[in-house]
């Protein structure tokens, strides 16, 4: 499907639904496969070939580990699979294996992530680069298996890098990037995709050869691993008033370092894939007056609406969040400061306070305003919550968000999309 | 603040410390009861050494030695497993003399 759009007075023929930019590489080196988001994550895991993987099923993560188990059963990987009895054990097994010096991966979703919660800061506090694929799903109760970000948003302060993926291709590439990024700064990383919307939807994805990916990743060089018995070390000590504070500050420093490291790792991955790995994707944002900020698959829907409204001559744009933790305040500020109105679409609810992405964007703009030498017109903000428990969001919903922005219907009150 | 404590920039990451550092942390001060060992009754069966959860009873040349009170928490397991009643638990403040 093709559509004609004008952008900066140039006629652009754009393929709707084509997620990728041109790829300048030898076609012999890559394969196009029809994979779901879950299978794309498993494909990346196969190419990573982790030393240890802890496995426990939960909808909608199950296809990731199921597909990976197939590779394992076929002998495509020589991973040590640990079949555990709960997510708490899965993450505990990952912590032990990673401390021993192994390259470790796992996957989970929703209440599974909630059950892991106790061990999440153990992984980050002990500085173990575990990489975990997440198929985002709502938290109970009421019980619900569909997509929202309540699960990962609840864990966003625990020292885990969080990267959100719009489609299966991004899941594949982000997983590879996350492994290298995590190991470069010794922090764990989550690669998130939308449960069912991405994890169970088949798309064409481009996969690069195993040997090229494995050369890119190299092997993990662990810092003082437990299995290095000639140089013994104590892991997981008791640190009370004397040292706990300092160790946590180190985690924060490492997380700040991840900002720079993300771009460095992204540049070396770009040599293989030809994709730019930026903190966020700007879609028609540079000359826009009104913009939507959101993440994952909803960004894809928003792109269609932006294309449509741009064809009508409306100056609208999209900012799609990719790297959510660490949060790059300055870069967001520079990208947003010229706008008249911004709608922040959160697919999670912070009950009793403002939504997570909205809060971060608000801080960004506040920082810009407070630190600016010349005072300027600050973009107006509106918080929207949508799609809890996997409720559909339609093009018409996003169009009406843009309409409200243009009409200046903005307030500090939370607004809801699709709520009865 | 204690000036000997390291800053976060000079510490090992992830709270890593040198091995066997728990030996520096003498935990025997928690004890309210202490084991009193009668060397004359002892038959050196080493039940107490095997059962001690804190590795406080060591053997030298097949003979049991004094309990290491630096780490003994007074749990009383040694007294309980002793087949010849060579170990008695006494109140810490009463049995203070070794």
Distance CA A213, CA B48 (A): 57
Q: Do B14 and A254 touch (CB under 8 A)?
A: no
In angstroms and rounded to an integer, the radius of gyration of the C-alpha atoms of chain A is: 21
Cis bond leading into A60, ω under 30°?
A: yes
User: Minimum mean pLDDT among A101-105, A294-298, A300-304, B25-29: which range?
Assistant: B25-29
What pLDDT shows up at residue A20? Answer: 52
Structure tokens given for A230: 């000639």
**Is B3 in CB contact (< 8 Å) with chain A?**
no
Considering chain A, tell me which residue range(s) the CATH 3.40.50.920 domain(s) occupy: 280-417
Q: Do A234 and B2 touch (CB under 8 A)?
A: no
3-state secondary structure of A300: helix
Q: What is the pLDDT of residues A152-175, one digit of tens each?
A: 999 999 999 999 999 999 999 999
| Chain A: residues touching B (Cβ < 8 Å) | 125-128, 186, 223-224, 232-239, 242-243, 245-247, 249-250, 253-254
Regarding predicted confidence, which is higher, B30 or A179?
Answer: A179
User: Minimum mean pLDDT among A209-223, A315-329, B21-35, B67-81: which range?
Assistant: B21-35
Q: Which chain B residues are Cβ-neighbours of A229 within 8 angstroms?
A: none
Distance CA A290, CA A404 (A): 10
Identify which of B13, B17, B18 has the shortest CB distance to residue A223: B13
- How far A124 CA lies from chain B's nearest CA (Å)? 8
Nearest CA-CA partner of B17 in A224, A411, A347: A224
Mean of pLDDT over chain A: 93
Is the pLDDT score of A365 beyond 70? yes
Within a 10 A sphere around the Cβ of A203, how many other Cβ atoms?
Answer: 18
Q: Which chain A residues are Cβ-neighbours of B13 within 8 angstroms?
A: 127, 186, 223, 250, 254
Cβ atoms of residues A417 and A386 within 8 Å: yes
What pLDDT shows up at residue A153? Answer: 97
Distance CA A358, CA A208 (A): 36
Cis bond leading into B3, ω under 30°?
A: no
What CA dihedral angle connects A256, A260, A266 and A268, to 10 degrees? -130
Distance CA A402, CA B71 (A): 69
Q: Do A250 and B20 touch (CB under 8 A)?
A: no
Distance CA A58, CA A116 (A): 13
Structure tokens given for B47: 């039940």
- How far A254 CA lies from chain B's nearest CA (Å)? 10
**Is B55 in CB contact (< 8 Å) with chain A?**
no
Helices (H) and strands (E) in chain A, counts: 13, 17
- Element spanning B37, H or E: strand B33-37
Task: Please tell me which residue of chain A has the smallest CA distance to B15.
Answer: A247
Residue-wise DSSP of A254-291 = HHHHHHHHHHHHHHHHHHHH-----SEEEES-TT-SEE
What pLDDT shows up at residue A375? Answer: 84
Is the pLDDT score of A98 beyond 60? yes
Cis bond leading into A142, ω under 30°?
A: yes
When pLDDT is averaged across residues A235-249 and rounded to a whole number, the result is 93
Nearest CA-CA partner of A139 in A106, A110, A98: A110
Q: Which chain A residues are Cβ-neighbours of B6 within 8 angstroms?
A: 243, 246
Within a 10 A sphere around the Cβ of B21, how many other Cβ atoms?
Answer: 12
Identify which of A235, A236, A246 has the shortest CB distance to residue B11: A246
When pLDDT is averaged across residues A28-45 and rounded to a whole number, the result is 92
Locate all alpha helices (DSSP H) within A137-221, ordered by sequence.
150-153, 168-185, 210-217
Question: Is CATH 3.40.50.920 the right assignment for the domain spanning A280-417?
Answer: yes
Cα distances from A258 to residues A50, A133, A158, A162, A397, in angstroms, run 22, 18, 15, 11, 35
Helices (H) and strands (E) in chain B, counts: 2, 4
Q: Which chain B residues are Cβ-neighbours of A96 within 8 angstroms?
A: none
What pLDDT shows up at residue B96? Answer: 52
- How far A119 CA lies from chain B's nearest CA (Å)? 14
Q: Please name the residues in contact with A227: beta carbons below 8 A apart, sequence gap of 6 or more.
A: A100, A101
Within a 10 A sphere around the Cβ of A404, how many other Cβ atoms?
Answer: 17
Q: Where are the beta strands (DSSP E) in A284-414?
A: 290-295, 316-321, 323-325, 341-346, 380-386
What pLDDT shows up at residue A1? Answer: 46
Q: Do A234 and B17 touch (CB under 8 A)?
A: yes
State whether ipTM is beyond 0.95.
no
**Is B85 in CB contact (< 8 Å) with chain A?**
no
Q: Which CATH number does A25-231+241-273 carry? A: 3.40.50.970
When pLDDT is averaged across residues A398-407 and rounded to a whole number, the result is 96
Identify which of B5, B8, B17 has the shortest CB distance to residue A250: B8
Considering chain A, tell me which residue range(s) the CATH 3.40.50.970 domain(s) occupy: 25-231+241-273
Structure tokens given for A52: 């240890």
Q: Do A234 and B16 touch (CB under 8 A)?
A: yes
Is the pLDDT score of A21 beyond 80? no
Cβ atoms of residues A287 and A262 within 8 Å: no
Residue with tokens 């510490």, as numbered in its chain: B11
Nearest CA-CA partner of A147 in A38, A259, A280: A38
Identify which of B7, B13, B20 has the shortest CB distance to residue A186: B13
Q: Please name the residues in contact with A181: beta carbons below 8 A apart, sequence gap of 6 or more.
A: A161, A189, A258, A261, A262, A265
When pLDDT is averaged across residues A71-86 and rounded to a whole number, the result is 96
Q: What is the pLDDT of residues B29-84, one digit of tens each?
A: 889 999 999 999 999 999 999 999 999 999 999 899 999 999 999 999 999 999 99
Record the pTM.
0.88
């Amino acid at each position: 499907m093709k559509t004609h759009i004008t952008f900066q007075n140039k006629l652009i023929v754009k393929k709707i639904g084509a997620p990728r930019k041109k790829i300048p590489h030898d076609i012999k080196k890559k394969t196009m496969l029809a994979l779901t988001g879950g299978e794309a994550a498993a494909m990346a895991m196969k190419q990573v070939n982790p030393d240890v993987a802890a496995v426990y099923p939960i909808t909608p993560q199950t296809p990731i580990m199921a597909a990976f188990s197939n590779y394992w059963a076929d002998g495509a990987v020589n991973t040590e699979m640990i079949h555990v009895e709960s997510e708490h054990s899965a993450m505990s097994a990952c912590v032990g294996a990673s401390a021993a010096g192994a390259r470790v991966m796992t996957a989970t979703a929703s209440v599974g992530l909630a059950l892991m919660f106790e061990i999440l800061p153990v992984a980050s506090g002990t500085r173990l680069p575990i990489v975990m694929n997440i198929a985002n799903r709502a938290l109970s109760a009421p019980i619900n298996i569909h997509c929202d970000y309540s699960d990962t948003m609840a864990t966003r302060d625990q020292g885990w890098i969080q990267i959100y993926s719009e489609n299966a291709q991004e899941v594949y590439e982000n997983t590879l990037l996350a492994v290298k990024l995590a190991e470069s700064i010794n922090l764990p990383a989550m690669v998130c995709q939308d449960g069912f919307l991405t994890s169970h939807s088949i798309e064409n994805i481009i996969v690069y050869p195993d040997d090229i990916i494995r050369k890119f990743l190299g092997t993990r060089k662990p810092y003082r691993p437990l299995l290095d018995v000639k140089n013994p070390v104590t892991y997981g000590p008791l640190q009370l008033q004397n040292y706990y504070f300092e160790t946590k500050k180190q985690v924060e420093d490492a997380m700040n370092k991840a900002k720079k490291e993300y771009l460095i790792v992204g540049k070396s991955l770009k040599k293989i894939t030809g994709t730019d790995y930026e903190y966020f994707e700007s879609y028609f944002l540079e000359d826009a007056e009104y913009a939507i900020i959101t993440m994952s698959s909803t960004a894809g829907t928003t792109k269609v609406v932006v294309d449509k409204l741009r064809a009508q001559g409306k100056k609208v744009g999209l900012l799609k969040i990719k790297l959510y933790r660490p949060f790059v305040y300055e870069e967001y500020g520079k990208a947003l400061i010229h706008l008249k109105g911004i709608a922040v679409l959160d697919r999670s609810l912070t009950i009793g306070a403002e939504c997570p992405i909205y809060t971060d964007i608000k801080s960004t703009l506040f920082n810009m305003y407070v630190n600016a030498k010349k005072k300027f017109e600050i973009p107006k903000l509106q918080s929207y919550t949508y799609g809890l428990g996997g409720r559909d969001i339609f093009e018409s919903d996003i169009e009406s968000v843009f309409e409200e922005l243009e009409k200046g219907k903005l307030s500090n009150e939370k607004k809801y999309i699709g709520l009865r | 603040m204690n000036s000997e404590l390291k800053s976060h920039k000079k510490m090992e990451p992830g709270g890593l410390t040198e091995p066997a550092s728990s030996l520096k942390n003498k935990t025997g001060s928690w004890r309210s009861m202490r084991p009193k060992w009668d060397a004359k009754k002892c038959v050196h069966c080493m039940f107490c050494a095997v059962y001690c959860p804190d590795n406080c009873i060591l053997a030298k040349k097949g003979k049991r030695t004094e309990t290491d009170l630096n780490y003994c928490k007074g749990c009383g397991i040694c007294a309980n497993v002793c087949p010849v009643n060579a170990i008695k638990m006494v109140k810490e403040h009463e049995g203070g003399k070794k």
